[in-house]
């Protein structure tokens, strides 16, 4: 544990942010799994598109990864 007050705060803030990022990524993965599931319709894919855009905007994932996942989901729906 750090001795300096600002370093102690950084440890606490980093933990809070890490937990928030982990929860957001986990939720995103769940939404993508639902969209990929058999019988998932256009509604699930649309929800996944929105979630991917939000995640990319907030920096949870890279914007190119979001675009790639959206493209693959759209291709799966049309096939």
Report the C-alpha gap between 56 and 34 in whole angstroms: 19
Residue 50's pLDDT is 95
Q: Provide the 3-class DSSP secondary structure of residue 42.
A: helix
pLDDT along the chain (79 residues), means of 10: 93 96 95 85 90 94 96 88
Domain ranges of the chain: 32-79
């Amino acid at each position: 544990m750090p001795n300096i007050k600002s370093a102690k705060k950084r440890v606490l803030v980093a933990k809070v942010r890490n937990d928030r990022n982990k929860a957001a990524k986990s939720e995103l993965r769940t939404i993508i799994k639902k969209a990929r599931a058999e019988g998932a319709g256009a509604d699930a894919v649309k929800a996944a598109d929105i979630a991917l855009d939000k995640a990319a905007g907030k920096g949870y994932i890279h914007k190119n990864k979001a675009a790639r996942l959206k493209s693959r989901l759209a291709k799966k729906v049309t096939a």
